[in-house]
A and B are shown apart, each in its own frame.
Chain A
Amino acid sequence: MIEAPDRAYLAALCLARAGLRVDPEKSYLIESRLAPVARREGFVSPQGLVGALRGRSDDRLAWAAVEAMAMSDTEFFRDRPVFDRLSAEILPELARSRGGAPVRVWSVGCGTGQEVYSLAMILADLPASAGPWDLLGSDLSERNLEKAQAGLYSQFEVQRGLPARALVRHFEKKGEGFALSPQIRQMVRWRRVNLLDDLSSFGRFDLVLCRNVLSGLAPEAHTRVRTSLMQALAPGGRLVIGLRDTLGGSFKALAPGLGLYAAA
């Protein structure tokens, strides 16, 4: 059992470092998210891990704990109608309006990569005249990014949302898992980015996907990230949020049921 003061400490750490809303009362959730990190780092229990965090300043360990506390569920073509709309309408339109200049796409909080790879698979099917495409995937978690970059998924993961036709077209069996083709993997660049940081150095994007990230943030962090996202959108750009995420008034809803927005 992690004691209440330690849970409060952990919640404060997650809030300060990543803007994460962690309920210190949810001891079971906290234990189960920290248990794998504790094991990996050689602690006998999650309690031991939090104790060590409080006892010494170990930046790497603190980040490992924070990253583990973020929700990380994802799947290929999550909320399929969103991708249908992107592929039939949004992406071709963006390509047209850019007139041959690169269309810049950013998956913010990309998790283990399924979201941005789903886009890459769609783009591989668009006529070569559309594009070029510049895809960036970023996440807080180094572990998520490593997995994303490797493009290696379990049998379970490739059955969540990924059509069998896309599996046979873009993957190869590798051991027990499935490896995404180099062609698709090469379409994406990766970067560790904390959404609380200043994002202006990344420039502006024609399409930003920030799905199922906002709903995990505390109010002040939410406000801050919303402003950053607004500034990251190029004129005429589009923002997609998750179906459970909410967004304030500074954006114009294009298809709220799909989480699709434009800068107002």
Chain B
Amino acid sequence: MKTCLVVDDSPVIRKVSRRILEDLGFEVAEAANGVAAMAWCDAMMPDVILLDWRMPEMDGLEVLRRVRASRGGSVPQVIFCSGETEIERIREALEAGADEYIMKPFDGAIVAGKLQSLGLLQVRAA
């Protein structure tokens, strides 16, 4: 089973994301901030990280840089998941090493589509 770490300071978003990902057959772990996220990654790198941008203390870009710099840190596919919808911000996240980008608000179909295009989900016949 593939694993996904959901990093978001909002419990509501974490809960929604967990439900979507579990429905898609992922094993889900949650982190409410960057420090907790790094602790998870040090213990066991997930296959995917769903990563919020704006979080107190350590923001998503910082988490992304730290993950990529750590051992095994090139393995996880990182999907930014943020309320930022300016093209420049999205480009910045991709250039910092994110594999995909989801603009909030999102739904299950969007998450499934992104996972599919990253090769993490079998493409179902339409």
Question: Does B103 count as interface, using CB distance less than 8 angstroms?
Answer: yes
In this assembly, does B58 line the interface, its C-beta being within 8 Å of a C-beta of chain A?
A: no
The CB with the most chain B CB atoms within 10 A, among A156, A159, A212, is that of A159
User: What sequence of 0s and 1s flags, for each residue 162-195 of chain A, a beta carbon within 8 Å of any chain B beta carbon?
Assistant: 0111011001110000000000000000000000
**For the complex, would chain A's binding face be called helix, strand, loop or mixed by DSSP majority?**
loop
How many interface residues does chain A have, given as a range? Answer: 20 to 34
Shortest Cβ gap from A144 to chain B (Å): 19
- Between A and B, how many residue pairs show CB distances below 8 Å? 49
Please give 17 more A-B residue pairs, beta carbons under 8 A apart, in addition to A159-B103, A159-B113: A75-B113, A77-B117, A79-B123, A80-B116, A80-B123, A81-B123, A155-B85, A159-B102, A159-B106, A160-B110, A160-B113, A161-B113, A164-B98, A167-B101, A168-B91, A243-B125, A243-B126
Residue of B nearest to A171 (CB): B87
- A167 CA to B90 CA in the complex, in Å? 9
> A212 CA to B126 CA in the complex, in Å?
10
Q: Are B94 and A165 in contact (CB under 8 A)?
A: yes
* CB <8 Å contact, B94 and A79: no
Residues in B with CB closer than 8 Å to A163 are 100, 117
Q: Is A242 an interface residue (CB 8 A)?
A: yes
Q: How far is the CB of B111 from chain A (nearest CB, A)?
A: 10
B57 interface residue (CB < 8 Å to A): no
Closest to B109 in A: A160
Which residues of chain B have a CB within 8 Å of any CB of chain A?
85-87, 90-91, 94, 98, 100-103, 106, 109-110, 113-114, 116-117, 123, 125-126
B101 interface neighbour in A77, A80, A164, A173, Cβ under 8 Å: A164
A168, B94: Cβ atoms under 8 Å?
yes
Question: Is A54 positioned at the interface, with any CB of B under 8 Å from its CB?
Answer: no
Does A96 sit within 8 A of B, measured CB to CB?
no
- Across the A-B interface, give the 5 residue pairs with the lowest CB-CB distance, nearest first: A164-B101, A168-B91, A159-B110, A243-B126, A164-B100
Please tell me which one of the listed residues B87, B113, B114 contacts residue A168 in the complex, with CB atoms under 8 A apart.
B87
Q: Are B103 and A172 in contact (CB under 8 A)?
A: no
Inter-subunit contact B126/A78 (CB<8 Å): yes
Does chain B have a CB within 8 A of A39? no
B126 touches A164 (CB 8 A): no
| A242, B126: Cβ atoms closer than 8 Å | yes
The closest CB in chain A to the CB of B125 belongs to A243
State in angstroms the CA–CA spacing of A242 and B126 once bound together. Answer: 9
A178 and chain B: residue at smallest CB distance: B87
A244 within 8 A of B: yes
